[in-house]
Chains A and B, each alone.
Chain A
């Protein structure tokens, strides 16, 4: 039998298809981001000038800017030029500073990745643990405590939680010295706040999935074979409940990336976020476009990874499995 071979091929074919869809989505998103420019009110030259806080420009200054940023070219040509540059890692020049956008971002990217990565890990572990505890003792006090806790945290935006934690724990209880002690402590605190806040929604989702699968046929049959509650929970409820949870993780990774700038601002963490916030406040379009595109690519990559994981977990998703 060549079952294993054809199975492997099926998975590869499905992944290639998803990869292709992801490339299309990224290309579509880049066009969308670029297309927003004509929707923005005002002449780009004026926007550049105001980004640089030049109030009374000379005609030469304007002409130089037009030439430098290629603003006299037709619209589609500018898109292709921009896209061609992007593929080579050239996101153009910042309207505000005139320095290459990529340099400004890449310097700060590692710090942001550390924050997002660590908070993601904290969030995954914390929600997994809480949901398992809640589902193991459904309807009893551990479940009720978890439920009340997730309700309150899900209603607390991460920046509010961050403010409260920062003020109470750090300023109020005098933990400030810990933070001034080093970047590591700031990183852990910021990541914990962001991760724990995100974990509330994920816990609710996973708990609901676990409880649903605990009530299904396979769990009942395992119990009828003599399996104990722990085994039924981890072997029969957890794997199927992980599937929708993973999809949600992939989707809300976008929220994590989007939520990071706010936390970076509050914890004064030197990531991409602060840079982007400055760009937002002066409408420095090339920087915003680059940030959006990088975020979209990260998001698309994350959902690809989720799809690959789902294919590994669920044999029914493999194309050759459909009869």
Chain B
């Protein structure tokens, strides 16, 4: 959870054209892409696919095993598990995506400004990043939740607070190198205006490593959202979330094992998809990975 993936020190970037083609040729990227697209589609279309209302109990139908009518069974209060999984996907996956996008944007802006700005700006920003990074991500998330109180929104804020600094540091390192790269030097010598040098020669080499980092981090965010919700610190009753569903049903294992296995499988597949996709993007972004 919130483990920080290692990046190759100098990571050249890959043209956007042919990204999907590149991923579908990559052995693990192909599976990552298929899994991610499927899960994403399910999360978006969840409310229309759900056969039953996810939060309304039906005590007459409690603990039904998987079968016709309830394809993945029902929980202790008779709620349809498939509907709850579909509803939960929006919180587990959507929340993780939101956190990853926010972290990437914050990291991009902070890191690039530090690299492009005056020396003192760079120094101040990077010392702040150092201090935040002295706190391990999960601990920082615990602290933020402890101060803001449990809840889904607070959880997302906590996860963003926990992970933005590392992204900012990577962005700053890449931007710092790109600003001084021979490509940027030559463009300036030719007379290309500085805003275009930044747009063409600085931002792209920063963006690609951040995309890889964000994708690899997505799995950690999914795991963290479900872990905090499992502990009752994230999504609150009666709303469905995969981790919270595990917490609800863990003591029912002997009578209703499907209540444990289905959410666990959802979490595992989502994290796997994000890891596979991230690894493939990392390979595509480095020269050795292209052949």
Contacts and interface: CB of A to CB of B under 8 A. Distances in A.
Given A25-B131, A36-B147, A257-B136, A288 B1 contact: no
Contacts of A283: 146-147, 149
A171 B271 contact: no
A227 to B, nearest CB: 25
Q: Describe B's contact surface by its main secondary structure.
A: helix
A111 interface: no
B271 A156 contact: yes
B143 interface: yes
Interface residues of A, number: 58
A295 interface: yes
Contact of B264 (A40, A163, A248): A163
B142 A258 contact: yes
A246 to B, nearest CB: 12
A305 interface: no
A265 B227 CA distance: 11
B139 interface: yes
Contacts of A11: none
B59 interface: no
Interface stretch (B37-45, B198-206, B246-254): B246-254
Contacts of A288: 142-143, 146-147
A201 interface: yes
Given A160-B268, A292-B142, A32 B136 contact: no
Q: Which of B131, B143, B148, B246 has the most CB of A within 10 A?
A: B143
B131 A163 contact: no
Contact of A160 (B6, B231, B267): B267
A247 B148 CA distance: 32
A110 interface: no
Q: In the complex, which range does the number of interface residues on chain B fall in? A: 35 or more
Interface string B109-143: 00000000000000000010011101111111111
Interface of A: 25-26, 28-29, 31-33, 36-37, 39-41, 151-152, 154-160, 163-164, 167, 171-172, 201, 205, 244, 248, 251-255, 257-259, 261-262, 265-266, 276-277, 279-281, 283-285, 288-289, 291-292, 295-296, 299-300
Interface of B: 1-4, 6, 127, 130-132, 134-150, 219, 223, 226-227, 230-233, 243, 246, 250, 253-254, 257, 260, 264, 267-269, 271-272, 275-276
Given A32-B135, A257-B136, A292-B146, 14 more contacts: A25-B130, A41-B149, A155-B272, A160-B246, A160-B264, A255-B1, A255-B2, A255-B136, A258-B138, A280-B146, A283-B146, A283-B147, A283-B149, A284-B146
17 contacts: A28-B127, A36-B147, A39-B148, A155-B269, A155-B275, A157-B267, A251-B4, A254-B137, A259-B138, A262-B230, A266-B250, A279-B146, A288-B146, A292-B139, A296-B134, A296-B139, A300-B134
